Amino acid sequence: MGLSHKQKRKRFGRGEILQEALPPLASPLSSCLEDVKNSWKNKKNNIAALCNDWLKIAGQPLASNCQPLSIQRKVLVVGASHPQWLQALQYNRSQLLARIQAAGIDIKDLRIQQYHPPKIDIAKENELRVWSRHPSRIDIHGLAKCTKCSCPAPGGEITLWGMCSFCRRKFKLNNL
């Protein structure tokens, strides 16, 4: 999709200047992903490669209770949230290290640390659920007329409070 010779030239006064050539088109995403995958294969000290094969290397039940966190200077950090699994890791440490090395991942040591995997944000989920039923949503409850100010207001507000949210705020302030 290169520009023709003519398009690359821009009129400039009586002469013309040559525009800077466009940068080459970015390669398609799929080939990028393929590149990433290949770089994992080549760089066996990569944490991603280890995560990929974690189940095979660590085996159950260790694999689902412990998690490789990072590799820095060939030291792998493995985390577990429960003291019982931290202990299990400690106990299996040398065996696990040997298995990881046997899998071709270039590490020389293994460190164990407590790690709490991020929890799903329940507060945020609730917020979304509340909003899905919120009386101010016209798309759900439709429009109605406020009984106080006669202005069009979300139907859900009228059903719930008998008035629009503006009147309700005023009403609440007056009754403090």
Residues of this chain that interact with Zn ion (CB under 5 A) are 146, 148-149, 164, 167
Supply the minimum distance, in Å, between the C-beta of residue 130 and Zn ion.
23
Distances 148 to 145, 164, 166 between C-alpha atoms, Å = 9, 8, 10
Minimum gap (Å) between residue 82 Cβ and Zn ion = 55
State in angstroms the smallest separation of the CB of 139 from Zn ion. 20
Instruction: Name which of 89 and 167 has its Cβ closer to Zn ion.
Output: 167
Q: 3-class SS at 16? A: strand
Query: CB-wise, 62 or 167, nearer to Zn ion?
Result: 167
| CA proximity to 98, closest of 88, 110, 86 | 110
CB of 159 to Zn ion, least distance (A): 14
Residue in the block written with tokens 């101010």:
136
Helix axes 83-91, 93-102, angle to 10 degrees: 70
**Closest to Zn ion by CB, 30 or 150:** 150
Q: Which is nearer to Zn ion, 143 or 149 (CB)?
A: 149
Residue in this structure with the two tokens 């202005």, named with its chain if needed: 151
